[in-house]
Amino acid sequence: MIITVLTNFKWVTLIDNTRFIGRRLNNNVYSRQGSLLLPQNSILDNHHLDLLHQHGIEIWREDIQLVTEVIMEEAISEVQAIYEKIHHQTEQLSNQGIQDELMPKIQELCINNNLSNVILELSKKDNYTYRHCIGVAVISFLIGKWLRMKDEELSELAIAGLLHDLGKVKIPDLILNKASRLNADEYAEMKLHTLLGYEMIRNISEMTEQQALVALQHHEREDGSGYPFGVSGEKITPFSKIVSVADVFHTMISERVYKKPVPLYQVFQEIYKSSYGLFDPKIVHSFIMNMMNRLVGDHVILTDGQVARIVMLHPDDLINPLVEAKGQFYDLRHSEHKILDFASNQ
């Protein structure tokens, strides 16, 4: 299929448009006679591609954008505005107001069929502070959904995840953005963001105590090794337990100026190993099982360099699935072969 787009009054060409299905146009697309065929922001589908093919017009990679990219950019701008309004008290915000603004975007990211694209968007280093808030909200929402929470609980949980780090707006930038390890005094001040966030959220209209407790407890751990108070087990609220898993997951997969992302498969391994001690086993099991289920069929790199396809998960060992490479099947529970990472991350 050959398609051309008029960009800055020049025609450019690229072969094969089928990979652009589901992406959004950044520009208007015109026929060679100058009539408008597709307006800017159209989401490409087969009908659109047929129309363009009929006119002998081809699109160019730079003229389309993943919908997840667009949603993420919009969400980042909105989260930044909300954080600044709360910090500077320039506008009275409410739980419902924040939900109305951001829940549609969080839900749209959560129902995206291509989980790999969503993870890719969440892991970028640009605007990390606000991208992290969105990432934790999205992952928390998904975990809550997999645990069969009701819709109103899911909204409450997602907003709690979105605001879990709100207290950091009161931490000095020199500490927040320090590229090297924090010293003892700096670390002690950083840990105050949990207490500060708790008080700030309690002052937002219609916020619940459980949402405020997420800001306070998202660094607490099941074995009592967390902060600020070292509480454990049932003293940590269910929302806080979910957000703590989402927080660690997004932190590990994220690229930052001074830190490369941890390979996705290694992140799954480390969180899975922490399911007895640091995190609630029920939450971790649901998270890993559902994330890995959505990656069945994806390709992975094995320790011997082979590229294999995930065929089936084992309920008793979620991170060592059955894989197939060149017609040979390997049960990684009992094989010398292990997964290094997902092939899409290489």
Please report the DSSP string for 147-173 in residue order: TT--HHHHHHHHHHHHTTTGGGGGS-H
pTM to 2 decimal places: 0.81
Q: Which residues pair with 5 in a beta bridge?
A: 12
End-to-end CA distance of the chain: 29
As a whole number of angstroms, the distance between CA 144 and CA 103 comes to: 14
Residue 309 host element (H or E): strand 307-314
What is the full per-residue pLDDT of the chain (346 aa) written as tens digits?
Answer: 333 444 443 343 333 555 566 677 878 888 888 889 888 878 777 888 888 888 888 777 667 666 677 788 889 999 999 999 988 888 888 999 999 999 999 988 887 656 777 888 888 888 899 999 999 999 999 999 999 999 999 999 999 999 999 999 999 999 988 888 899 999 999 999 999 999 999 999 999 999 999 999 999 999 999 999 999 999 999 999 999 999 999 999 998 867 889 999 999 999 999 998 999 999 999 999 999 998 899 899 999 999 999 999 999 999 999 999 999 999 999 999 999 998 865 5
CB burial of residue 124 (10 Å; 0-12, 13-18, 19+): middle
